[in-house]
Amino acid sequence: MSGSRIVVIGGVACGPKAAARARRRDPKAEITIIERGDLLSYAGCGMPYYIQGQVETTDELMMTPAGALRDEAFFKGVKAINVMSRTLAERIDRQRKVVEVVSLETAQKQEIPYDKLVLATGADAAVPPCSGVDLKGVFRLNHPHDAEGIRKAVAEGCKEAVIVGAGLIGVEVAEALVTQGLRVTMIEMLPSIVPAVLDSEMAAHLQRHLESRGVTVLTDTRVLCFEGDDRGAVREVVTDKGNITAQLVLIAIGVRPNVKLAQDAGLELGETGAIKVNEHLQTSDPCIYAGGDCVESVHLITGKPIYAPLGSTANKHGRVIGDNVTGGNTKFEGVLGTVVFKAFDFNVGKVGLSESDCKKHGIPCVTAVVPGPDRAHYYPAAKPVIMKMIAHSETGKLLGVQALGTGEVVKRIDVAATAITFGIEARDVSDLDLGYAPPYSTAVDIIQHAANVVDNKLLGLAKSCTPQELKSRLDANDDFVLLDVRTPAEVEAQPFRHERVVHIPLGKLRERAGELPRDKEFVIFCKTSMRAWEAQRILEGEGFTRVCFLDGGLAAWPYEIPK
């Protein structure tokens, strides 16, 4: 393989990683990166923090941990990799094994021969099919130059911003703008925010947090067009529920894989619309590999194709491709769709399948919502987390975890990612020998509490009612008893006033159970549902047959509390 010609199209994440890995494996290979832009190997995920001012310059997004700028000179001098920036790959001639390119500065055309070709063409920001998207002040966030434009607009005095799309980028940029004094409205056409990450009741907690920090969130709202002033600058966002004034608009409705070059070359696309690759990241042409945001992956649980464009995945793809274009036989097995992000004071994460994913794929599941502290409750730095765990209702296998709160979330998501990857059952999570000390966790970590609740449900011991189900029943005025087993002090501090509520503290429940009507259905609640679950078992022991508890209690209740 030594001395082979390796050509990489795309110089952001996967491409440079593949090239660098190939160089380490084959010191004699002739390696060329073709990049249409003028910036290389930049950390696109850091752009919201540049907009916020936490990262001072875009150069910092292109530096190694040692402080070296990853530019053409760096790749040439350190990696012996030739970089052709501001160069567009126009066509792939698979028969002759050449890439036809054109310089975007000189218009000069040439052909670059290859033995192995790597496509790392990434993705482009999706744009809604409506007028006004090209007005001044309407941005996408696909490149550091976009981030520079947004930061400049803020510096020039923009006061009102609209973010179209409530996904990860939208949430992160909302924080960046609010913290700089802008009034921000976020518009989402679906019923809840970050719908690809969180189930609706978990998303409701995040939405309330965003609103508490000054973001106006409009769900179930569709953007119709953007209107400008006589200078061609955006002035209003027109929606199906009214107009919103704005001097800055960010379109953040997702990305679309950049597959035109591959498609024109006759390479096979997958059912997601991205490039189809095998486990070695080969395309339908065995001499052409592809990775990063332009390809689809396999979901490790469903075994089905998934489009999951993430920087972490792109870098893993790059390493696998670098191995295989230099004679290796490395496999990329797939992804779990793991996502973590920051939203003001909230840490948010998801791994595996959500409950809505399970319904879509016809997978029977059991869920548990568990609130709790991220470390010993008596430790001064303890902060709250709400976790939702999903398991297969027949096999007990762990399928997914969502978590959010001001407490430490990411390490729990990482534990879940490891557990799901190796196919363990939810009950086995409680046996994991996790690190414990009061400054870091509780003696039984919250992810293990969630696993125990799931296990109790699978055993038929625990019976719960979700927050959505309870709210629907309250709204419909169903006939049941809502039993509050908190202490009188808790009830006074946080009253839940509704005609269905009966208050009996847990410590008095056994002696007062005779006061309760045996012909009624009971939904029991407390702060976190630990006492409510115990109350369920007490009432069942007293002969009550229709008893359940509110999943997660009031700490996980995402709606306004009746007062």
- Active site (catalytic) residues: 45
Say which residues have a Cβ less than 8 Å from residue 363's Cβ, sequence separation at least 6.
302, 353, 357, 392, 399
The radius of gyration computed from the CA coordinates of the chain, to the nearest angstrom, equals 27
Helices marked H in 222-344 = 260-264, 311-324
What is the torsion angle, in degrees rounded to the nearest 10, for the CA atoms of residue 495, residue 501, residue 505 and residue 509?
A: 180
The vertex-306 CA angle with 418 and 118, nearest 5°, equals 95
Pick from 132, 147, 157, 162: which is nearest to 50 by CA? 147
Helix (H) or strand (E) holding 74: helix 72-79
SS3 543: coil
User: Cβ distance 391 to 398 under 8 Å?
Assistant: yes
Helix (H) or strand (E) holding 548: strand 547-550
Pick from 256, 153, 182, 174: which is nearest to 218 by CA? 174
SS3 394: coil
Rounded to an integer, what distance in angstroms lies between the CA atom of residue 498 and that of residue 144? 52
Please write down the HEC assignment for all residues of 318-373. HHHHHHHCCCCCCCCCCECCCEEEEECCEEEEEEECCHHHHHHHCCCEEEEEEEEE
Neighbouring-strand partners of residue 249? 138, 162
Tell me the one-letter amino acid at 538.
I
Total H helices, total E strands in the chain: 16, 30
User: Cβ distance 320 to 291 under 8 Å?
Assistant: yes
Say which residues have a Cβ less than 8 Å from residue 287's Cβ, sequence separation at least 6.
94, 97, 114, 115, 116, 117
User: Cβ distance 355 to 197 under 8 Å?
Assistant: no
Tell me the one-letter amino acid at 496.
F
Say which residues have a Cβ less than 8 Å from residue 67's Cβ, sequence separation at least 6.
none
Rounded to an integer, what distance in angstroms lies between the CA atom of residue 283 and that of residue 267? 7
* Concatenated DSSP letters of 191-219: SSSSTTTS-HHHHHHHHHHHHHTT-EEE-
Rounded to an integer, what distance in angstroms lies between the CA atom of residue 275 and that of residue 122? 11
SS3 485: coil
Please, what is the end-to-end C-alpha distance for the chain in angstroms?
73
Q: What six digits make up the tokens of 32?
A: 């060329």
User: Cβ distance 376 to 442 under 8 Å?
Assistant: yes
Pick from 79, 93, 85, 102: which is nearest to 30 by CA? 79
Tell me the one-letter amino acid at 461.
L
